[in-house]
Chain A
Amino acid sequence: MMLKRLLPLSVFLVLVVLMWKGLYHDPRKLPSPLLGHALPAFELPTLASAESVDSSILAHKVTLLNVFASWCEACLQEHPLLVDLKNRGLVNIVGLDYKDDPKQVKVWFSQMGDPYQTVLLDTTGNYAINLGVYGTPETFLIDKKGIIRYKYIGALDADVLNHQIIPEIQLLAQL
């Protein structure tokens, strides 16, 4: 008898829990279907030279691929963290400049530093579509075999870097 009376309350509590969790769920952060798949092949020019490079530049190194643009406010915010990461020498950082003006990027770097080993230029944004990019910045971790292992959507912060990304890098470095 008692149980029957508690039913509406328990249903209500379950709903409260679900909705509470829903409040913290960001619909903009979608899981990527590319995890566990090889990084899509590319042949793109770089900031350094008009000659195209392909995925051989990633050869056998754990790589952090950062999709950014000089017009992107959030990218500006995370930039110092990337420079710091580069200085720590933990990982090879490659940039993908998305629908941007290379001249602006150079200006940006002269003011704020350049954390990238290479900056790939995707002026049309067509390669980024292959990565499922829908808003900059986005950061990928790629293992030594060229498989995408991790994706973060949005500006990096110290928390994500220290608790998710760096541990993952260290894990991948040992494989």
Chain B
Amino acid sequence: MSKIFLILLMSCGLMISVGATDRYVFSSNAESLQFSRLTQQMRCLVCQNETIADSEAPLAQDLRQQIYSKVRDGESDQTIIDYMIARYGRFILFKPPFEKSTWFLWFAPLGLLVMGFLLLSRHLLWKR
């Protein structure tokens, strides 16, 4: 009875992450989460609206393998992201960075909405 319990307890230490059709084995929950987190925030450059986590493209498989090795080596999120950006550029990240060069991108939708609202209300008030 206690043997079974022990085996069950030990197998909880093994975390398996399933992405597309590969199976990766991690030694902790944190590693598994890190892997998912990273592969889901990066773009597959071959199938550009898919994440590296989901894409079946050979390049995505290779990059998952690279990320897996790095996660197992204990590299931080930022180190791994920097590694990818150094090779593939910012575009590999889905989320555009929030910096001066991208303020327009981030604020434009809200800006346009506010502008439209102002124009509309002016127009309606004027009509009265």
Q: How many A-B residue pairs have CB under 8 A?
A: 38
> B88 is contacted by which of A124, A125, A126, A132 (Cβ under 8 Å)?
A132
Which residues of the partner chain B approach A130 to less than 8 Å between Cβ atoms? Answer: 87
**Does B33 sit within 8 A of A, measured CB to CB?**
no
Q: Is B85 an interface position by the 8 A CB rule?
A: yes
For A32, what are the chain B residues with a Cβ–Cβ distance below 8 Å? 89
Query: Are B62 and A30 in contact (CB-based, < 8 A)?
Result: no
Residues of A within 8 A of B48 (CB): 27-28
- Determine the main DSSP class of B at the interface with A: helix
Asked if residues A135 and B59 are in contact (CB atoms below 8 Å), the reply is: yes
In B56-83, the 8 Å CB interface with A consists of: 58-59, 62-63, 66
10 A/B residue pairs, CB under 8 Å, sorted by A: A27-B48, A30-B91, A33-B87, A33-B90, A124-B62, A126-B62, A126-B66, A129-B63, A129-B66, A132-B89
Residues of B within 8 A of A (CB): 45-46, 48, 58-59, 62-63, 66, 85-91
